[in-house]
Structure 1
Amino acid sequence: MPDYTDWRGLLTASERYDNIQRISTKIAAAGIGHSGFEIENEAYESALCREDYDAACTAALSAATAAAASATDAAPGTPHVPSEEESPETDPDEEPGIQIGPYESCHYVASGVTAEVYRSRDRALKVIVETRDIEPHNPAREAKVLGLLQRPCIPLLETFWDQEQRFVLAFPYMPLTLGGLLDRGSPLTDKQIRAIFADLFTALRQIHSHGIIHRDIKPSAILLASPSGPAYLSDFGTAWHPQLSTMTEPAYTKILDIGTGPYRAPEVLFGNKSYGTAVDMWGSGAMLAECCRRPTPKPLFESRAVHEDGNQLGLILSIFKTIGSPTRETWPEAVKFKTPPFDIYRVFERRGWESVLPEVAPHWRELVSALVRYNSSRATAEQVGILNPFFFATLLTSPFSIKALQYPCLHE
């Protein structure tokens, strides 16, 4: 007998993500013009009970599978797109690749400060290639931190030592990043922004509840299963954990060399070693502003490459020019910083967000203004109101503005 109790409250976000992922994979193969998010959300909203919801998701999967089979029959030359349950086949025209531990046909994707990333079918392998003097990078700590987290943080599938005795972390392979979408130069739709940032803030709410600071929020750290999500927060190599990190980084003497370019928070630039989770919120706000700008995405602040002289000073001046210089009244905590941001810099008048982001929709502009601000009233992930991505999407499309939720940080 169907259960008509509060079945939505018992349905976990992880279960919904799994359904979206399965549906998205099938409809991609079929070329259906709807997203997995839309199909699953329609099932979620219209179902009267859990049995109805499961049946609707199953029906969507069956329909997409049949459509994909028809498309394959109609176009025999079209490459096979594997389902989630299948292992993707290697492109026959592709080089055979290398072996990494038990994984064959591994192909190079990218590299960073300490690691190289390879793809092996539906897996992404992060191979640690540098192990000396790499703090705050710590692969073993990264693995422990990831073991504490759930989606939409990228799931760690396993770790192992390969045949060259290199430490390897294995993840699900995601075909896109938010950085890749932005590099295309096309504006993101409102629906894309809602879905991606709902997942991001859900992830931040989760990690911040553990006292974890990500410390490198940037578009390339947001992995995407499709252009409209689901999105996964990745790149925890420099994350700070209140127990696992304190041997090398006590809470009040953290490393300042964190973050990337235009997403670095100002408290770090001015030597505040006791920074907290607010650095992640600043980076998220700067990234949100970039995604919302029209006609093409553009970083909110200008930042030179890290190897160029004056890159930090250039970022400071860009922040001041864009939103105005801080004062002792607007940023009282900064009085105690190692390098207070007052007096020694040219003073720029504070600008309203309507003039900073005139082309951005008001509901996004309000959220950016709550995140990109100097003082401790910067919105937290909890205050953004993220219980799950679908709540967030509803929040931003409801007749109530964000201010109606009475977040203190929005009422200065």
Structure 2
Amino acid sequence: MSDQSNWRDSLTALERYDNIQKITAKAATAGVKISAFDVENEAYKLSESRAEYDAACSAEIAGSATDGSGAVPADLSPEAGAGPAVRVGPYEDCYYVASGVTAEVYRYRDRALKVIVETRDIEPHNPAREAKILQLLKKPCIPLLETFFDQEGRFVLAFPYMPLTLGTVLDRGAAIPDSLIRKLFVDIFTALEYIHERGIIHRDIKPSAILLASPTGPAYLSDFGTAWHPALSSASEPPDNKILDIGTGPYRAPEVLFGNKSYGTAVDMWGAGTMLTECCRRPVPKPLFESRPVHEDGNQLGLILSIFKTIGSPTRETWPEAANFKTPPFDMYRTFERRDWDVVLPEVSQSWRDLIAALVRYDSGRITAGEALKYPCLCE
């Protein structure tokens, strides 16, 4: 709920037009083709207060300037619509945005349409289950607006269109201000706390799954295509026999890598911790661990080696639960000594390192989302 529910009523047409003109001028200076009308209109529709609207418009106007203020410039990439317009069900003039394992995403004005193009049974991808899970959730999880079958009989999920992701911000290669990290991760951990209280495991926490309504947030948790639900998933994946082929690249949790099919919500917290670390690193964001692309041989072994080299090899003392895994991680690889976090992340402040250390750890002491929200670095 907006903290100023009537803020749109107080915003004059002249003020909106002035913002559009400023965005247009900045885009022209940057030599980038965008629709200033769409940029302003998204800020108007998606912001929950006048302050959020002003921040979104200011961020867009800021362009690529660096004035030392710590503001994150907007992504002035070309607007969707460079390709041919297509029809998706009742929606005309839809434009291709991106593709995933099972779906293609199109934009229609203020909506994102996720069109399921892979209909074979390739668990854990299950779009029908994804829709049922999304219908149970609320913000800051991405809201599901509707589902339908398009003219080709393909299943479609419709969401509010979000112009950015956390991945977009990271890809800029510029340091992210602590104030923005704090704001976004309060949203992220709030969403994780909400789904974990319901027994739901997201299983694919990564920067591209965090959608942003503007360069300054708010953030929404999305991409529930491989999520596990205690009732909806138990027939195909019993709690103690879950699928291991989950997660993406350097955000995959070690218990999954070593065959623990009884994993729980802690896999999401590992992913959130590695993602937080990436955001906090200076002078530019950088993943904590290295992972080869999926199509390359040995990508999983490469990630395991990177984890061990970065934070040290696990031992029976530091990870006693792993002794019962299908593939215990002991006495199998070269042993790397444990490294303190001030050595691993000397450029990161102690308050962030404290939270990272509580998230990126092997054993069952990994904190919950609710506990993370109480850390000083997120309460300042």
Corresponding residue SS for 1:382: helix
Q: Do the aligned partners of 1:192 and 1:227 also contact (CA within 8 Å) in 2?
A: no
Report deviation, 1:385. Answer: 3.1
Q: Deviations over 1:152-186 (max 9, x none)?
A: 00000000001100000000000000001111101
Q: Distance in 2 between matches of 1:144 and 1:60?
A: 33
Runs (4+) off by over 6 Å: 73-78
Q: Do the aligned partners of 1:218 and 1:283 also contact (CA within 8 Å) in 2?
A: yes
What amino acid is the match of 2:275? M
The structure-2 alpha-carbon separation of the partners of 1:176 and 1:343, relative to structure 1 and needing over 3 Å to count, comes to: same
Q: Do the aligned partners of 1:363 and 1:396 also contact (CA within 8 Å) in 2?
A: no
The structure-2 alpha-carbon separation of the partners of 1:134 and 1:68, relative to structure 1 and needing over 3 Å to count, comes to: same
Identity of aligned residues (%): 69
Q: Do the aligned partners of 1:304 and 1:315 also contact (CA within 8 Å) in 2?
A: yes
Report deviation, 1:134. Answer: 1.4
Aligned-residue CA RMSD (Å): 2.2
Q: Deviations over 1:234-280 (max 9, x none)?
A: 00000000000011100001000000000000000000000000000
TM-score, normalisation: structure 2: 0.83
Q: Distance in 2 between matches of 1:194 and 1:205?
A: 16
Give 1:192's aligned residue: 180
What amino acid is the match of 1:103? Y
Q: Do the aligned partners of 1:177 and 1:223 also contact (CA within 8 Å) in 2?
A: yes
Q: Deviations over 1:56-102 (max 9, x none)?
A: x64586257542234557999884332329xxxxx898566111111
Corresponding residue SS for 1:165: coil
Q: Distance in 1 between matches of 2:23 and 2:333?
A: 64
Give 1:226's aligned residue: 214
The structure-2 alpha-carbon separation of the partners of 1:65 and 1:370, relative to structure 1 and needing over 3 Å to count, comes to: farther
Indicate which of 71, 80, 89 corresponds to 1:101: 89
Q: Distance in 1 between matches of 2:175 and 2:161?
A: 25
The structure-2 alpha-carbon separation of the partners of 1:93 and 1:249, relative to structure 1 and needing over 3 Å to count, comes to: closer
Give 2:199's aligned residue: 211
Q: Deviations over 1:181-211 (max 9, x none)?
A: 1111011111110111110000000000000
Give 1:396's aligned residue: 378
What amino acid is the match of 2:146? E
The structure-2 alpha-carbon separation of the partners of 1:75 and 1:223, relative to structure 1 and needing over 3 Å to count, comes to: closer
Corresponding residue SS for 1:383: helix
Is 1:237 aligned to residue 198 of structure 2?
no
Q: Distance in 1 between matches of 2:137 and 2:270?
A: 22
Give 1:69's aligned residue: 17
| Correspondences of 1:46-125 after superposition (within 5 Å) | 54=4, 58=6, 62-63=10-11, 66-71=14-19, 79-80=36-37, 81-82=40-41, 83-84=44-45, 97-125=85-113
Indicate which of 251, 262, 285 corresponds to 1:274: 262
Which has the larger Rg? Answer: 1
Q: Distance in 1 between matches of 2:310 and 2:297?
A: 21
Report deviation, 1:228. Answer: 1.4
Q: Distance in 2 between matches of 1:384 and 1:93?
A: 40
TM-score, normalisation: structure 1: 0.77
Q: Structure 2: which 5+ runs fail to align? A: 26-34, 47-78
What amino acid is the match of 1:152? P
Report deviation, 1:332. Answer: 0.4
Q: Do the aligned partners of 1:278 and 1:380 also contact (CA within 8 Å) in 2?
A: yes
| Correspondences of 1:2-81 after superposition (within 5 Å) | 15=1, 19=2, 54=4, 58=6, 62-63=10-11, 66-71=14-19, 79-80=36-37, 81=40
The structure-2 alpha-carbon separation of the partners of 1:337 and 1:70, relative to structure 1 and needing over 3 Å to count, comes to: closer
The structure-2 alpha-carbon separation of the partners of 1:72 and 1:372, relative to structure 1 and needing over 3 Å to count, comes to: closer
Is 1:131 aligned to residue 119 of structure 2?
yes
The structure-2 alpha-carbon separation of the partners of 1:71 and 1:152, relative to structure 1 and needing over 3 Å to count, comes to: closer
Alignment size in residue pairs: 335
Give 1:304's aligned residue: 292
Give 2:373's aligned residue: 385
Indicate which of 358, 374, 379 corresponds to 1:370: 358
Q: Deviations over 1:370-403 (max 9, x none)?
A: 00000000011121136xxxxx7x76354xxxxx
Indicate which of 219, 229, 236 corresponds to 1:248: 236
Q: Distance in 1 between matches of 2:364 and 2:20?
A: 56
Give 1:45's aligned residue: none
Q: Distance in 1 between matches of 2:120 and 2:252?
A: 25
Give 2:309's aligned residue: 321
The structure-2 alpha-carbon separation of the partners of 1:74 and 1:202, relative to structure 1 and needing over 3 Å to count, comes to: closer
Is 1:354 aligned to residue 315 of structure 2?
no
The structure-2 alpha-carbon separation of the partners of 1:367 and 1:74, relative to structure 1 and needing over 3 Å to count, comes to: closer
The structure-2 alpha-carbon separation of the partners of 1:266 and 1:58, relative to structure 1 and needing over 3 Å to count, comes to: same
Q: Distance in 1 between matches of 2:345 and 2:155?
A: 44
Corresponding residue SS for 2:113: strand
Corresponding residue SS for 2:176: coil
Corresponding residue SS for 2:17: helix
